[in-house]
A and B are shown apart, each in its own frame.
Chain A
Amino acid sequence: DGGITQSPKYLFRKEGQNVTLSCEQNLNHDAMYWYRQDPGQGLRLIYYSQIVNDFQKGDIAEGYSVSREKKESFPLTVTSAQKNPTAFYLCASSARTGGNQPQHFGDGTRLSIL
């Protein structure tokens, strides 16, 4: 079955450390997205990518970085510049960015600070 796989499910970061969250999809989707979800709140867009080798900042990109070297993969790095990284991170993809295509989500990665 096609879907989106996020790993790891739980991740712990030490002070001053960069960590990378994995997101892989086998849906052949062009567009991929990273969201941050804080307790009791909605989703905020960190970065998105419409095609390979291209990505754009979302609303809260500071302290994060991404790459899109392959269509299937869109890893997110939480850098030491992100001072409040504790959150639930969700990766999503869609068939294309225009039109009415819904976004499909992975099961998320919960990041905590040690």
Chain B
Amino acid sequence: GNSVTQMEGPVTLSEEAFLTINCTYTATGYPSLFWYVQYPGEGLQLLLKATKADDKGSNKGFEATYRKETTSFHLEKGSVQVSDSAVYFCALKAGDSNYQLIWGAGTKLIIKP
């Protein structure tokens, strides 16, 4: 079946460090891939997405590249800020599904000044 695996958190970094949050997936067909961010006490916001192999999604300095050969969609940012502290969720919409997003468990990111 379809599934998403994210690296376990929390991930703790110092300000201006390089960030990678790993996300790998299992899916039938050709899924679309998403990263969402959840700030404390709030709902989720779409951060970026990619709909086909080799697509790169980017937003607010974050990037992720859809790698079909490694079934991965790792989230990266070159220089993190304290305001990036949040929980990040990787999700996929499988090509054979017309409604459901499959969610990773989320990775909590803590940035220290």
What residues make up the interface of A, taking CB atoms closer than 8 Å to B? 4, 6, 31, 40-43, 45, 48, 50, 58, 90, 92, 97-98, 100, 102-108
User: Once the chains bind, are B103 and A108 in contact (CB under 8 Å)?
Assistant: no
The total of interchain contacts (Cβ-Cβ below 8 angstroms) comes to 51
Chain A residues, CB < 8 A from B106: 40-42
- Known contacts: A41-B106, A42-B89. The answer to whether A103 contacts B49 by CB under 8 A is no
Per the CB 8 Å criterion, the residue count for chain B at the interface is 22
User: Once the chains bind, are A104 and B103 in contact (CB under 8 Å)?
Assistant: no
B51 to chain A, nearest CB (A): 5
- Known contacts: A31-B99, A42-B106. The answer to whether A107 contacts B89 by CB under 8 A is no
Chain B residues, CB < 8 A from A42: 89, 103-106
User: Is the CB of B82 closer than 8 A to any CB of chain A?
Assistant: no
- Known contacts: A43-B89, A102-B34, A102-B49. The answer to whether A90 contacts B44 by CB under 8 A is yes
B27 to chain A, nearest CB (A): 14
User: Is the CB of B93 closer than 8 A to any CB of chain A?
Assistant: yes
Chain A residues, CB < 8 A from B70: none
Give the distance in Å from the alpha carbon of A58 to the alpha carbon of B101 in the complex: 11
Chain A residues, CB < 8 A from B36: 105
Chain B residues, CB < 8 A from A108: 41-43
